A = this chain, B = another copy of it.
Amino acid sequence: MSLSPQEQVRILSRRCEKMHSEAELIGKLEKSARTAMPLRIKMGMDPTAPDVTLGHAVPLKVIRQFQDWGHKAVIIIGDYTARVGDPSGQNTTRPVLSGEQIDANAKTYVAQVGRILLTGPQHLEVRYNGEWLGKMNLVDIIKLASRKTVAQLLEREDFANRYKAGAEIRLHEILYPLLQGWDSVMIDADVEMGGSDQLFNNLVGREFQKEESKSPQVVIVTPLLVGTDGVMKMSKSKGNYIAVTEAPADMFGKVMSVPDRLLETYYTLLTDLPAAEFSPLIASDPRNAKVKLAKSLVTWLHGPEAAAAALERFEKVIVGKEIPDQMPELFIERGSHKLAPLLVKAGMATSNSEAMRKIKEGAVRLDGQKVLDAQREHTFEQPVVLQLGNRKFARLRPSIDGPI
């Protein structure tokens, strides 16, 4: 290894929002170099959301960096808690999964993270936390719970906000961070990676390791990637995400729909290009900067041929139809819709009957394709461009939450 630990930490800092602590990481890197023992870099994955997104890709890129330096990724599949789901039924994003579903999701995970991480037993270990959590009895859980106070857990930002707002926090929810922390003890994590919303949980693991007289893990959190809507954290439930397995053409198109102001962040977090290269380009020619970003991301995740093909298709289908990048956005409920009411909502017609007439006239397109049947139901899962004539455009953004 030719880089000094200090240089390594400097490289990691590109995607690091907080690190506890830099000095400890340097110590661990030095020791690893001295003893030729790879560090164990943990990251937890929730098997209830099977798509790995570019949001997850940010901490995964950091892990890949560690792997390139000889360390080992340890991916924890939270199968045990997924089997419980959210028993209070309050949190619909945490459904109960069967053992088969969890296993199926876990397999796709490995395939997905394999686009970013090195695989093979020397590089990657995948563990299911049911292995140890399934053996816990009430005494074990009481002992674990006794290590933390209610006040400490209510300090976690989202809990604090909900508690202040009088919103419900079910008791099992404040147990979950403890279980996640216990995972770190069980797998002897040296570093835990996660998004910045995982900071609190990951520090719990660090404290538990100290209490067990183990070397405490270094906690590194990465910035949360804002989704293609330019507003919210990239997340499956918001319909604003790009999956790492997204088909090349879709990935290319979605990146092109990202607002210009996110370009710096996307370049920084998702590519390894130096700022000296991308910053001037973004400033002078954002459209071209975006094409370059899209090509770079598709190359990374699908290879150069796929990227070239996606670029070609994009230019033919989208640019050829002279669809602009920037246009008004209309948030709609995911699922089936007739077009006429959407034309009215988008301000392209003043009544349903006017909208239907325009459809029949052949003036309406979806992603450049003419729509002629006004009665047809269209199913929306991803953003599409609604177009009236040659001049009026709106991007329809399906979202689980519906219009916002």
Q: Which residues of A contact B (CB under 8 A)?
A: 80-81, 83-84, 86-88, 133-134, 136-139, 141-143, 145-151, 153-154, 159, 163, 166, 168-175, 178-179
Contact = CB atoms under 8 A, between A and B. Distances in A.
18 contacts: A80-B138, A84-B139, A84-B142, A84-B143, A88-B146, A88-B147, A133-B138, A134-B138, A136-B138, A145-B170, A145-B175, A147-B170, A149-B168, A149-B170, A150-B163, A150-B171, A153-B171, A171-B178
Contact of A169 (B142, B150, B171, B179): B150
Contacts of A166: 151
Q: Is the interface of A mostly helix, strand, loop or mixed?
A: helix
Nearest to A152: B171
Nearest to A140: B138
Given A137-B134, A150-B163, A154-B150, A142 B174 contact: no
Contact of A146 (B145, B149, B172): B172
B171 A148 contact: yes
A84 to B, nearest CB: 5
Given A138-B179, A147-B170, A151-B163, 17 more contacts: A80-B138, A83-B139, A84-B142, A87-B146, A88-B147, A133-B138, A137-B138, A142-B175, A146-B172, A146-B173, A148-B170, A149-B168, A149-B169, A149-B170, A150-B150, A150-B170, A151-B166
Contacts of A170: 145-150
Contacts of A145: 170-172, 175
A399 B153 CA distance: 35
A81 B86 CA distance: 26
A159 B142 CA distance: 18
A88 B146 CA distance: 5
Contacts of A147: 87-88, 170-171
